[in-house]
Amino acid sequence: MSAITQDTAIRTGRVTRMLIYVTLLVFTLFYLLPLFVMVVNSLKPLSEITGGNMMSLPKTWTIEPWRQAWSSAQIGVEPTGLKPYFINSILMVVPAVAISTVLGALNGYVLTKWSFRGDKIIFGLLLLSCFIPFQIVLIPMATVLGKLGLAGSIPGLILVHVVYGIGFSTLYYRNYYASFPTELVRAAMIDGAGFFRIFWRIMLPISGPITVVCIIWQFTNIWNDFLFGASFGGQIQPMTVALNNLVQSSTGVKEYNVHFAGAILAALPTLLVYIVAGRYFVRGLMAGSVKG
């Protein structure tokens, strides 16, 4: 979007503009409200929450809820805090994103620049796989992971996320590479470069924008996944599942401030990626269409 900053030709009157600004303001508050409440209340002692107003700023500021959420809160039966689960998520996300992105890039390269009989059908199959409801694969996946000895393990979760991430990463790279002329590869072939050399020397160096898009997409999806983590994680739970356990635990007093600190911790990596690289996401999505 930021790439196109064209002005509309529409002129609006004073009153209309006022109404527009008021509406936008209301929605700004609507979108910010939950974040504001979470942040503010994660910095209060519990007594201030149960006894006070959720909208008011803390009277006594404290980072104790954050410390607890990170290292000592009760998750399930163990008082470990979210830290080990955060590490689980990192260990799962990094390889899963890397593998699915590399495979997507290679697939996109083959499907656009080395087309062969039946490649359209293969692309169609990969594309459709992006949109299945995962409920349809839960039962056999549980069986297969068990047979492979990967149930309840990080490699098992990596496998699941790679398998169901390939479709999207292939889609992104295919659409991006399609905007570069096939002649580029033909010229390199005549120059004497082979399949991998062309990929490495010519395609990869121009893949920056779409790689950003693909990594952000995969990272957000895999980090935020709950269904697979809950179904196949077993003891090795990712952050989302642990957060849910923390929040839903029925024992003891509900420590809302700790819950909020935990929720923010779970959201932090994706929020950070979004803040740092969100701009490139939109730009990268448009890059393909601009190049052609």
Partner 1 sequence: MGFLDIQNVTKSYGAVEVLHRVDIDVQEGEFLVLVGPSGCGKSTLLNMIAGLEGITSGDISIKGRVINGVHPSKRNIAMVFQSYALYPNMTVGQNMTFGLEMHGVPKPERNAALKDVAKLLQIENLLDRKPGQLSGGQRQRVAMGRALVRNPDVFLFDEPLSNLDAKLRVDMRTEIKKLHEKLKTTIVYVTHDQIEAMTLSTRIAVMYQGFVQQLGTPKEIYDTPANVYVATFMGSPAMNVLPSRVVMHDGTSYAQIKDANGADLLLKFSQANMAQWAGKEILLGIRPESITDPDGADRNSGNIVSLRNRIGVTEPAGADTFVTMELCGKDIIARMRADANVGAGQEFDFAINMDKAVVFDPKTEERIAP
Partner 2 sequence: MTTTVQMDFRTRLQNWIPKLVLAPSLGVIMVFVYGFIVYTVYLSFTNSKILPSYDLVGMANYTKLFQLPAWTLAITNLAIFASLYIVISIAIGLTLAIFLDQKIRGEGVLRPIFLYPMALSFIVTGTAWKWLLDPGIGIEHTMHLWGWASFHFDWIKNSKYAIYTVVLAAVWQTSGFVMAMFLAGLRGIDNEILKAAQIDGASNWNLYWRIIIPQLRPAFLSSFVILSHLAIKSYDLIIALTGGGPGRSTELPATFMYSYTFTRNEMGVGAASAVIMLMTIAAIMIPYLYAELKEVK
Where along the sequence are the contacts to partner 1 (CB under 8 A)?
A: 180-181, 183-184, 186-193, 197, 201-202, 205-206
Least gap, CB of 206 to partner 1 (angstroms): 5
Which of partner 2, partner 1, none lies near 183, with the C-beta cut-off 5 to 8 A by kind? partner 1
- Residue 183 lies near partner 2 (rule: CB under 8 A): no
Nearer to partner 1, 190 or 253 (CB): 190
Please say whether the beta carbons of 205 and 137 come within 8 A.
Answer: no
Least gap, CB of 290 to partner 1 (angstroms): 12
Beta strands in the chain (DSSP E): none
- Residue 252 lies near partner 2 (rule: CB under 8 A): no
- Phi, psi for residue 63 in degrees, rounded to 5: -105, 10
* Per-residue exposure over 83-115, b if at least 16 CB sit within 10 Å of its own CB, e if not: bbbbebbebbbebbbebbbebbbbbbbbbbbee
| Intra-chain end-to-end CA distance of the chain, in Å | 18
Please say whether the beta carbons of 43 and 65 come within 8 A.
Answer: yes
Which of partner 2, partner 1, none lies near 124, with the C-beta cut-off 5 to 8 A by kind? partner 2
Assigned token pair, 91: 């260990």
Residues 102-141 that bind partner 2 (CB under 8 A): 103, 106-107, 110-111, 114, 116, 122, 124-129, 131-141
Assigned token pair, 115: 């087309």
Instruction: List the beta bridge partners of residue 75.
Output: 78
Assigned token pair, 212: 């950003």
Instruction: List the beta bridge partners of residue 78.
Output: 75
Residue from 153, 170, 211, 218 that binds partner 2 (CB under 8 A)? 170
Residue from 47, 50, 60, 71 that binds partner 2 (CB under 8 A)? 50
Least gap, CB of 52 to partner 1 (angstroms): 59
Nearer to partner 1, 3 or 57 (CB): 3
- Residue 240 lies near partner 2 (rule: CB under 8 A): yes
Q: How many CB atoms lie within 10 A of CB 135?
A: 9
Which of partner 1, partner 2, none lies near 135, with the C-beta cut-off 5 to 8 A by kind? partner 2
Residue from 195, 234, 249, 283 that binds partner 2 (CB under 8 A)? 195
Which of partner 2, partner 1, none lies near 157, with the C-beta cut-off 5 to 8 A by kind? none
268 residue type, one letter: L
